[in-house]
Amino acid sequence: MIITKDHIGGLVFLCLSAAYGYYTGDISMLPGDEYEPFNAQTLPSILSYMGGILSIALLLTASRDASDRLSFKGYDFPLVIKLLVLVVLFGIALEWVGFLVSTVFFLICGYWLLGERKWKTLLIASVPFALFIWFSLSQLLDIYLAPGRLITMLFGG
């Protein structure tokens, strides 16, 4: 049996879809919502089923050519590990310094890890994007984004 990139991608996507589907049951609903045809769990459940179906389709239709065989040559695994560590640090920083500051630092560090070294480019590529996402979420969609514990302790909440 030949394992290709499509097989690996299909298996990873299937695992993610199954885990996502499993946790959709934890989404809380308002009393009486369980009898509604469309509630807070409906769309995530549909997405998890679609992800499972598409990943199985990818597994079944994956190329079986020997030229598509999985090879780890050319991959920069240390960079992948650094980016994963950066994502974990981003998750920790969200709670302490809030969405806007942690997103700006996450993007600056991510671009820096990927090879960009000019500060002007790092700031132009990071700050407007983080501001746009923050504005869209908090002002347009009215989603509450906690300012962060450190910001609250320093400036009050």
Confidence at residue 157, expressed as pLDDT on a 0 to 100 scale: 62
> CB neighbours (10 Å) of residue 48?
19
- Each residue's pLDDT tens digit, 35-49: 888 888 899 999 999
Half-sphere exposure of 20 (CA within 13 A, CB side): 17
Long-range contacts made by residues 52-57, C-beta under 8 angstroms, separation at least 24? 52/14, 52/17, 52/18, 52/21, 54/13, 55/10, 55/11, 55/13, 55/14, 55/17, 56/10, 56/14
Confidence at residue 23, expressed as pLDDT on a 0 to 100 scale: 94
Percent of the chain at pLDDT > 90 equals 62
Nearest by Cα to 102 from 144, 141, 133? 133
Strand-pairing partners, residue 69, are 4
For the cut 90, the answer to whether the pLDDT of residue 1 exceeds it is: no
For the cut 90, the answer to whether the pLDDT of residue 102 exceeds it is: yes
The whole model's pTM is what? 0.66
Among 35-39, 123-127, 133-137, the least confident range: 35-39
Instruction: Return all residues near 138 (Cβ < 8 A) that are at least 6 apart.
Output: 144, 145
Let me know: does 97 contact 153? Beta carbons within 8 Å: no
Question: Residue type at 63?
Answer: S
Q: Which residue has the higher pLDDT, 49 or 65?
A: 49
